[in-house]
Copies of this chain bind each other. A is one copy, B any other.
Amino acid sequence: MELSKRQETILEIVKKEGPITGEQIAERLRLTRATLRPDMAILTMSGMLEARPRVGYFYSGKKPGQELAEKLHQITINDIKSVPVVVSEQCTVYDAVVTMFIEDVGTMFVVREGGLLEGVISRKDLLKTTLGGQDIHKLPVGVIMTRMPNVVYVESDASVLEAARKLITHEVDALPVVRQVKGKDDHKDLEVVGRFSKTNVTRLFVELGEGAY
């Protein structure tokens, strides 16, 4: 939505002097209130201005791009997550690589009974290990994985934006999507319920661009 020059001016006035009544704004611009009505409607309905009876208009602090930002906040991981690919800690590095190729993923999660998160293993970890000269037919992934509590994860009711930020901040390609479950002695365990990767973000981006949301 593009603002007209008059709307920009109104926004500036309210920003500086709000709360301010419609009458006062009209006076400033030497226009009638009736002339301004459509502009005021646009500015309040888009959320840029807020109006309170008997107080006047004030600036909400929302930028025009904010609508987009809010939309991105509303989409949750649950809406777009993928199925997780998991292996056990005893799985050999060789078998893990084979699984990775069969499933065509870049990151796998290492779990114990009940699908509880133990660690994460990436294509990068595996590549490093295959170079290392160790016997990958015997080496278990448990030795080379990133282990809890050093795993970056996301809960399934988080927003996509929060998860995308984690991918960038922690420089990882994918996150396990988890659900907290109560373990022994009130210890909290994390059950792996999904996978969230840069591919999910990219696919969502394309769908947003095609107007699917």
Interface residues in chain A, defined as those with a beta carbon under 8 Å from any beta carbon in chain B: 1-2, 4, 34, 37-42, 45-47, 63, 65-69, 71-73, 94, 97, 100-101, 104, 106, 123-124, 126-128, 130-131, 136, 160-161, 164-165, 167-168, 171, 173, 197-199, 201-206, 208-213
What would be 9 A-B contacts, judged by CB atoms less than 8 Å apart? Answer: A1-B67, A38-B42, A66-B211, A67-B68, A97-B131, A131-B136, A168-B202, A168-B206, A198-B202
Question: How many whole Å from A70's CB to the nearest CB in chain B?
Answer: 9
Distance in angstroms between the alpha carbons of A46 and B42 in the assembled complex: 9
| Number of copies of this kind of chain in the complex | 2
Interfacial chain B residues near A168, Cβ < 8 Å: 199, 202-203, 206
Interfacial chain B residues near A126, Cβ < 8 Å: 127
A164 adjacent to B198 (CB under 8 Å): no
Interfacial chain B residues near A71, Cβ < 8 Å: 65, 68
Interfacial chain B residues near A41, Cβ < 8 Å: 38-39, 41-42
